[in-house]
Structure 1
Amino acid sequence: MTLIKSISGIRGTVGGAPGDNLTPLDLVKFTAAYARWLKETAPDKGKLTVVVGRDARLSGEMAASIVEGTLCGSGIDVIDIGLATTPTVEMAVTGKGADGGIILTASHNPKQWNALKLLNARGEFLNDAEGRRVLAIASADDYVFPEVDALGHVTERSSYDREHIERVLALELVDREAIRAAGFRVVVDAVNSVGGTVIPALLRELGVEVIELNCTPDGKFAHNPEPIPENLTEISARVPAEKAHLGIVVDPDVDRLALVCEDGTMFGEEYTLVAVADYVLSHTPGATVSNLSSSRALRDVTQKHGCHYTASAVGEVNVVAKMKETGAVIGGEGNGGVIYPAIHYGRDALVGTALFLTHLAKTGLSASALRATYPPYYISKNKIELTPDIDVDDVLRKMKERYAQERIDDIDGVKIDFPTQWVHLRKSNTEPIIRIYSESRDKASADALAEKIIADIRGIVGK
């Protein structure tokens, strides 16, 4: 597997040859590059501090030891918060007054993967220019490390879970009493990663009865960790068997939230953000943002509240930038990523859980009944493989021309917005493919739209 280097971090499979996989040498190289970038951004500050946290995957302890040692060897102090969710590390950066953060997690990828996710002093992912600078430093490979008296140290080893939970509970729109009064019984599937401790702890603070499923944070993923329906058969059976009101599923680093209705059906990852936004907008009207590949349902709900919706390029850093630009009160991504700026600018399943349960409690509806109140859409996710000699940018340009009479958005690939459906075409940064996401009112229509677009592309390529 080729090591994947992008502005959002470095990820790959553990072991193998350096440069082709995520090896100890690669961990040192890119951590040292990040350390040098941090020093460039604050040349007069003196000793800098970085927060390090990790999910529970099997390679996490090894990777954390190397990363912390490299930071100290680069003259940077380390605050080690141990097993921690991605949003917990983000909040710890600002909460501890640190200069940056590194999260060791490959998110929803299987156990053989790990990654370095890099944060700035705001606890947010690096933007395009910052990420490219880190990669340029790593490519130059001309490091000079400080001498012994200037080495960094691990200054603190302590969990930040409690602080994160307390911040969520303190949110004005989180109604602990309403949730407690509802008497919710909830099954939690945390795929044996860090969500297995923090999500049940949050729920119990909210007065929820918790049934734990795959909540031992040992990194032995009980199923494919991406929280999509085909991987959630166990919890979808367990929720109705336990007569639970809801199932809560998080990925290994707990920035994505998927929900299971009381009858075992999926609430739908796309609709996690939709439901939370509906609740937030009913109390604090304002703008919303999601990425171009997310469901139109958020736009519909936003307009129902008389508010303005904007789409951003794909990627959390792009969503956050657009949220700041528009002053959005809620935003995120259709993969179950809820970003609520009242607490911080990052996808956060703890925040999503607390806001969703408040909404569910106040409506008095079952999860399936609440889901039925939202516009019905279905997203079909496809890709088309191309030979390396094909100019993907030229293919996208010709597709844009072919559908010029429709509403077109080209900030990230080409999105063609039809009156009742849409399709989004994006080229991959790592392989010769075009990703094709289409949405319509039902599966058959979404699939048919995707098939039509694929046929169009094959026609262009064949010319």
Structure 2
Amino acid sequence: MARLFGTDGVRGVANRDVTAELALDLSVAAAHVLADIGAFAGHRPFAVVGRDPRASGEFLSAAVVAGLASAGIDVLDVGVLPTPAVAFLTAARGADLGVMLSASHNAMPDNGIKFFARGGHKLDDAIEDAIEKRLRESWERPTGAAVGRVRTDVRAADDYVAHLLAVLPHRLDGLHVVVDCAHGAASAVAPRLLREAGARVDVIGGEPDGLNINDGCGSTHLEPLQAAVVEHGADLGVALDGDADRCLAVDALGDVVDGDQIMAILALALRERGALAGDTLVATVMSNLGLMQAMQREGITVEQTAVGDRYVLERMRRGGFSLGGEQSGHVIFTDHGTTGDGVLTALLLASRVAQSGRPLAELAQVMQRLPQVMVNVRDVDKARAADDGDVLAAVQAIESELAGTGRVLLRPSGTEPLVRVMVEAGEAAQAQALADRLAVVVRERLALSGE
């Protein structure tokens, strides 16, 4: 049976894959596992629970709260807030557990359940596996005063905004920013934060109704932001996703500045302030080769990990590094948080523009992106992608053809039933042709119909 937990919690179509029953049972199992490992020793446990504005989050968060309270855990309900805010509040409130209901950048019908341990850190794989094993086991239910109590945390948003403002290195006075909130979890806090930091702010994608999250807007649909930045004559634009754990940007001309470029800009900014630990940036194997080349020129080491912000964070914590992230816009600042924070990323990127007095387009020129093509091959047996001889031979043939001028990456998706074929090359046409060629081999060799 497939593992219930993916690379970023439990995720699927709400009310079909991710049901109220599953949400309740997962919460109870998490409470039991954490109790058994001594996480609640000597005190009455409590948890922080938040969600993004998806309609399904209303009943799923209610189920999570019910499960936790039935297991004897008090609950602070923080309502609609970004994932990084829930992680921050889990740590700031001294909670034993945090739970976020969100499917991040996925379309509205999906939802997900993500757990944070004490301190706001994601649960490790072993604890997730233990939770999964204990689903729906029989248990002795607390009664009377031993059941959990539920209350609303009315200061949650204020404290999160204050936390981010406290780390602002340079105010944004005089800067004009457009922010696309993806009709998501940061629709209230992101514009407020940027305004309190001094920026003039125009907002798009800031009217969530429970159904429009990520719908043609946000970090997965940059076209509206590109148009708005040019229309308003803004200095830059920033786009968040549904739970605001990632951020992409647009310069004054409407050109996209991706996560790799953002990391390059902020790595130099942090080093300038003496805050880039070990003069090292942690990135994934999906980051553009141009980032590696740029950081090498600047004397900054790049450590690479598997795809997934949890793996980036693990490497950062192990090495004591302060900056890491993904091309998709997950950027982690371990001095200020325990997970990717798109709102903080937007704030620090805008601060760098204001402090330097240089346009974002100029700052982004620190790295030159090699043309990178991604082809998603669906309806294939992704588990065999790393073992099929013909697929591996095709990869080797393309790598020989590139002869060090590019690279090939074949990666099964951690959240979707597909294999991603990525090729970088000196020319876009060459990258596309090679990616298409490899995709044909993957489709032919790994097709599910051939099982």
Same fold (TM over 0.5): yes
Partner of 1:192: 183
Q: How does 1:339-358 map to 2 (within 5 A)?
A: 339-358=332-351
Q: Which amino acid aligns with 2:287?
A: S
Q: Does 2:446 align with 1:453? A: no
Counterparts of 1:266 and 1:382 in 2: how far apart (Å)? Answer: 20
- Offset, 1:33: 1.5
Contact 1:186 1:247 in 2 (8 A): yes
Partner of 2:408: 423
- Offset, 1:455: 5.1
Q: 1:89 aligns with which of 86, 90, 94?
A: 86
Q: Does 2:309 align with 1:324? A: no
Partner of 1:305: 298
TM-score between both structures, scaled by the size of structure 2: 0.89
Q: Does 2:44 align with 1:22? A: no
Structure 1 residues 416-441: Cα deviation after superposition (integer angstroms, max 9, x where no partner): 99623222212245776422122234
Q: Which amino acid aligns with 2:338?
A: Y
Counterparts of 2:389 and 2:215 in 1: how far apart (Å)? Answer: 32
Range moving further from structure 2, 345-354 or 96-105: 345-354
Q: How does 1:282-431 map to 2 (within 5 A)?
A: 282-284=272-274, 285=276, 286-385=279-378, 388=381, 391-395=384-388, 399=392, 403=396, 419-428=404-413
Partner of 2:31: 35
How many aligned residue pairs are there?
443
- Offset, 1:293: 1.4
Q: 1:100 aligns with which of 97, 102, 106?
A: 97
Inter-CA distance 3–264: structure 2 relative to 1 (3 Å threshold): farther
- Offset, 1:398: 6.5
Partner of 1:437: 422
Q: Does 2:253 align with 1:263? A: yes
Q: Does 2:209 align with 1:209? A: no
Partner of 1:175: 170
- Let me know the Cα RMSD of the aligned residues: 3.0
Partner of 1:56: 53
Structure 1 residues 270-299: Cα deviation after superposition (integer angstroms, max 9, x where no partner): 422232223223333421101111223332
- Offset, 1:103: 0.3
The sequence identity of aligned pairs, in percent, is 27
Q: 1:147 aligns with which of 138, 143, 146?
A: 143
- Offset, 1:328: 1.6
Counterparts of 1:99 and 1:228 in 2: how far apart (Å)? Answer: 32
Counterparts of 2:255 and 2:416 in 1: how far apart (Å)? Answer: 34
- Offset, 1:113: 1.4
Q: Does 2:232 align with 1:239? A: no
Q: 1:121 aligns with which of 110, 118, 121?
A: 118
Counterparts of 2:211 and 2:169 in 1: how far apart (Å)? Answer: 33
Inter-CA distance 223–350: structure 2 relative to 1 (3 Å threshold): closer
Inter-CA distance 440–174: structure 2 relative to 1 (3 Å threshold): farther
What secondary structure does 2:87 align onto?
Answer: helix
Structure 1 residues 95-142: Cα deviation after superposition (integer angstroms, max 9, x where no partner): 00111100011101111111111111121211221211111112x633
What secondary structure does 1:59 align onto?
Answer: helix
Q: Does 2:262 align with 1:277? A: no
Partner of 1:219: 210
Partner of 1:412: none
Q: Which amino acid aligns with 1:196?
A: S
Contact 1:52 1:82 in 2 (8 A): yes
- Offset, 1:457: 4.5
What secondary structure does 2:100 align onto?
Answer: strand
Q: Which amino acid aligns with 2:103?
A: A
Q: How does 1:68-87 map to 2 (within 5 A)?
A: 68-87=65-84
Counterparts of 2:111 and 2:261 in 1: how far apart (Å)? Answer: 28
Inter-CA distance 53–459: structure 2 relative to 1 (3 Å threshold): closer
Counterparts of 1:227 and 1:201 in 2: how far apart (Å)? Answer: 17
- Offset, 1:381: 1.4
Which structure 2 segments of 5+ residues have no match?
none
Counterparts of 1:330 and 1:417 in 2: how far apart (Å)? Answer: 31
TM-score between both structures, scaled by the size of structure 1: 0.87
Counterparts of 2:379 and 2:59 in 1: how far apart (Å)? Answer: 38
Partner of 1:411: none
Q: Which amino acid aligns with 2:273?
A: H
Inter-CA distance 271–79: structure 2 relative to 1 (3 Å threshold): same
Contact 1:225 1:251 in 2 (8 A): no
Inter-CA distance 334–352: structure 2 relative to 1 (3 Å threshold): same
What secondary structure does 1:196 align onto?
Answer: coil
Counterparts of 2:372 and 2:395 in 1: how far apart (Å)? Answer: 22
Contact 1:337 1:349 in 2 (8 A): yes
What secondary structure does 1:244 align onto?
Answer: coil
Partner of 1:136: 133
- Offset, 1:324: 1.5
Counterparts of 1:453 and 1:112 in 2: how far apart (Å)? Answer: 32
Contact 1:193 1:218 in 2 (8 A): no
Which structure 1 segments of 5+ residues have no match?
408-415
Counterparts of 1:288 and 1:299 in 2: how far apart (Å)? Answer: 10
Structure 1 residues 214-240: Cα deviation after superposition (integer angstroms, max 9, x where no partner): 2124334265367456x2322221211
